[in-house]
């Protein structure tokens, strides 16, 4: 799978509305057949920073994502809300879902 994590520093006046601002893009991306997940989180240390964790089935699905109409619309609309260019980590990973974090395993009788 293609695994991507990106940090978005949002201009402070837009930070509280970021989930609303990105809602259409988020819903459209989650609806792509090759999208495994597309999840936003807000930093607990920096209220103007959001982290996007996304994954696509393979390179073909990732390419379809960046060629989609909703991606093009986001490229035009989202930079106006940002304080800086987002930072990204993009890697191909030889798995298809989340692995269990064995170091913090929850006993079966509590799961």
Total tally of structural domains belonging to the chain: 1
Domain assignment present for residue 63? The answer is yes
Domain assignment present for residue 111? The answer is no
The confidence score (pLDDT) of residue 110 equals 77
Domain assignment present for residue 73? The answer is yes
The confidence score (pLDDT) of residue 87 equals 98
Domain assignment present for residue 37? The answer is yes
Sign of CA dihedral 57, 61, 62, 68: negative
Q: What is the pTM of this model?
A: 0.91
- Per-residue confidence of the chain (111 residues) as pLDDT tens digits? 999 999 999 999 999 999 999 999 999 999 999 999 999 999 999 999 999 999 999 999 999 999 999 999 999 999 999 999 999 999 999 999 999 999 999 998 876
């Amino acid at each position: 799978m293609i695994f991507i994590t990106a940090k978005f520093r949002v201009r402070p006046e837009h930070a509280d509305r970021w989930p609303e601002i990105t809602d259409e893009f988020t819903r459209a991306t989650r609806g792509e057949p090759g999208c495994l997940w597309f999840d936003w989180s807000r930093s607990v240390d920096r209220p103007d920073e959001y982290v996007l964790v996304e994954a696509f089935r393979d390179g073909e699905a990732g390419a379809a994502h960046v060629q989609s109409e909703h991606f093009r619309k986001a490229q035009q609309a989202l930079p106006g809300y940002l304080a800086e260019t987002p930072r990204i980590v993009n890697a191909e990973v030889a798995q298809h879902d989340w692995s269990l974090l064995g170091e913090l395993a929850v006993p079966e009788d509590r799961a």
